[in-house]
Structure 1
Amino acid sequence: MTKVHKPYVIFEDKDHKFVWLGLDESEYEKGILTNQYLIVDGDKGVLLDPGGYFVFERVYENVKQFINPNNIIAILYSHQDPDVIGSLNLWLDVSPEAKIYVSALWERFLPHIGVGGIKIVDIPDKGMDIKCNNIMIKAIPAHFMHSPGNFHYYDPRAKIYFSGDLGAAVFPEGKWYLFVENFDEHKKLMEGFHKRYIATRKAIDLWLKRIKDLKIDIIAPQHGSIFQGENVKKFIDWLSSLDKVGIDLMEVDFQQE
């Protein structure tokens, strides 16, 4: 029987919400399970990595529980992968006023998925602040983790950090949980992805410097489970401890051939 998980409000304070937009563990949502998020501030909304074609119906129906899709003013993309941007043309139909925020590196690729005449805002490599009604969402550079043009998004009111593919976990069939409880067990599900997909250890070091002054209560990744409380620090410490990743590992493999 297909498991359907309803949306969950991760943070709520008066007129501000940060919402996880549910999950459908069906064969129809093909590939690795993905997370989508909605920030609501007043009567305006912002979508974070709304996902591929197959998840659109589920995400759209769940968004409507919190806000009129016509009031979505921004769609923020971490990078260019199809599980991130594949539903863009569908969202343009239901949220025509939304501006699309994406790395300047990937802006020219978006027309290749069949969209045109869209309001694209190029995010410069150094990042930027994005106005959402009464708050400013920060686009944090996370280049080469894994995409060369990659951004995370920080909601300063909720103190929630959307980390894109950083924090991704690959679950065995039949296993899934929304929040990390046992970090030592969970890190086993993350290790393979992070060692292979993060380009180099230098990318981790640069990212650590960029986030060191942020107050982060929750880290919400696009794949896997959400980190809160002490598991936020455990996750950051775990990333800090990774020695060889990406090309560093491949260099070792090449030398051993």
Structure 2
Amino acid sequence: MKVHKPYVIYEEGDHSFIWLGLDESDREKGVLTNQYLIRDGDRGALLDAGGYFVFERVLNSVQEFVKPENVDLLLYSHQDPDVVGALNLWVDMLPNVKIYVSELWERFLPHLGYDLGESINDLPDQGARIPFGKSYIEAVPAHFLHSPGNFHYYDPVSKVYFSGDMGAAIFPKDKWYLIVENFEEHAKLMEGFHRRYIPCKRAIEKWLTRIQDMDIQIIAPQHGSVFTGENVRKFLDWLMKLDRVGLELL
């Protein structure tokens, strides 16, 4: 099993969007997850920081690019343990961080065993623009994909769209890659997840309508592989054509 070092997906000037690495042996403990860091100058924003057993690796990767005290934002798409499971550890390590999560889940996070105090910020259903560095990060509503309170995050500088569980792929034990090259083959690894975990096609359609005018150059999901170039459009088209999702399977 191979350990993969962080990879800079986008960099121009002092702004970058960074995938924070992966240990393929993690699949023996749970599903593989992706964590990302947006860097603007010496400031950082961490996306879906992950569960307990990836914490040390992700922290070490973050420190290659920014100091922990300069991580301003901890942005969560939803409440699953593979997303928020190490929250108490992150709050201890990031003394100045502000946490953002759907207003539906703010009251549940203390069950992780930590009083978040004033560091927690509720995202309203309609989303928000969160100030960051010299620009902002947009919290894009993506409710019921698959959580009822769900957000994606868009960086308008890099034009990278963090899509949470949309785009998730489940790899067999002998396979993994960071960047999608053959979309048709990759789609076979995504189909089962999207049919079972997404509750209805209407949720997909509403989200696709919401993002259709956004300038998205790269889509980076929390599970699976990153979509670049023509595969961004192929992925969105594939979702639009996907039938028999969630409740339709009952």
What TM-score do the two structures reach when normalised by structure 2? 0.98
- The answer to whether the Cα contact below 8 Å between 2:110 and 2:116 also exists between their aligned partners in 1 is no
Q: Deviations over 1:18-67 (max 9, x none)?
A: 00000011258611110000000111100000100000000000100000
Name the structure 1 match of 2:12: 13
* 1:141 corresponds to: 141
Deviation at 1:248, TM superposition (A): 1.6
**What SS does structure 1 have at the residue aligned with 2:25?**
coil
| Secondary structure in 2 matching 1:112 | helix
| 1:40 counterpart letter in structure 2 | R
Which has the higher mean CA deviation after the structures are superposed, 25-34 or 142-151? 25-34
Q: What is residue 103 of structure 1 aligned with on the other side? A: 102
Residue in structure 1 matched with residue 159 of structure 2 by the alignment: 159
Question: Would you say the 8 A contact 1:25–1:33 is kept in 2?
Answer: yes
Gaps in structure 1 of 5+ consecutive residues: 251-257
Q: Equivalent residue of 2:180, what SS?
A: coil
Equivalent residue of 1:152, what SS? strand
- CA deviation map 1:138-168 (0-9, x unaligned): 0000100100000000000000000000000
| Match of residue 253 from structure 1 | none
1: CA distance between counterparts of 2:138 and 2:248?
Answer: 30
**Rounded Cα–Cα distance in structure 1 between residues aligned with 2:59 and 2:13:** 23
Alignment of 1:118-129 (within 5 A): 118=117, 119-129=119-129
Identity of aligned residues (%): 66
> In the TM superposition, what is the alpha-carbon distance from 1:96 to its structure 2 partner?
1.5
The verdict on how the C-alpha distance between 1:29 and 1:38 changes in structure 2, with shifts beyond 3 A counting, is: farther
Task: State how far apart, in whole Å, the 1-side matches of 2:26 and 2:211 are.
Answer: 37
1:46 aligns with 2:45: yes
1:64-75 equivalent positions in 2, closer than 5 A: 64-75=63-74
Q: What is the one-letter code of the residue matched to 2:174? A: G
Aligned to 1:208: 208
Amino acid at match of 2:149: G
Secondary structure, counterpart of 1:62 in structure 2: helix
Write the distance in 2 (CA, Å) between the matches of 1:208 and 1:230. Answer: 17
Give 1:174 deviation, angstroms.
1.6
Partners of 1:83 and 1:171 in 2: how far apart?
17
Which residue of structure 2 lines up, in the alignment, with residue 190 of structure 1?
190
- Residue 117 of structure 1 and its aligned partner are, at CA, apart by 3.4
Q: Kindly tell me the number of residue pairs found equivalent between the two proteins.
A: 249
- Unaligned 5+ residue runs, structure 2? none
Residue 188 (structure 1) shift: 0.3
SS of the residue 1:10 aligns to: strand
Name the amino acid aligned to 1:94.
M
CA RMSD of aligned residues (A): 1.0
Partner of 2:245: 245
In the alignment, what sits opposite 1:56? Answer: 55
CA distance in 2: counterparts of 1:29 and 1:65, whole angstroms: 26
User: Could you give the per-residue CA deviations for residues 198-252 of structure 1, whole angstroms, max 9, x where no partner exists?
Assistant: 11111011101110110011000000000000000000000000122111221xx
Amino acid at match of 2:155: D
What code does the residue aligned with 2:36 have?
Y
Q: Secondary structure at the match of 2:215?
A: coil
SS at match of 1:26: helix
- State the alpha-carbon separation in 2 of the partners of residues 188 and 249 from structure 1: 18
Amino acid at match of 1:77: Y
Q: Counterpart of 1:109 in structure 2: which amino acid?
A: F
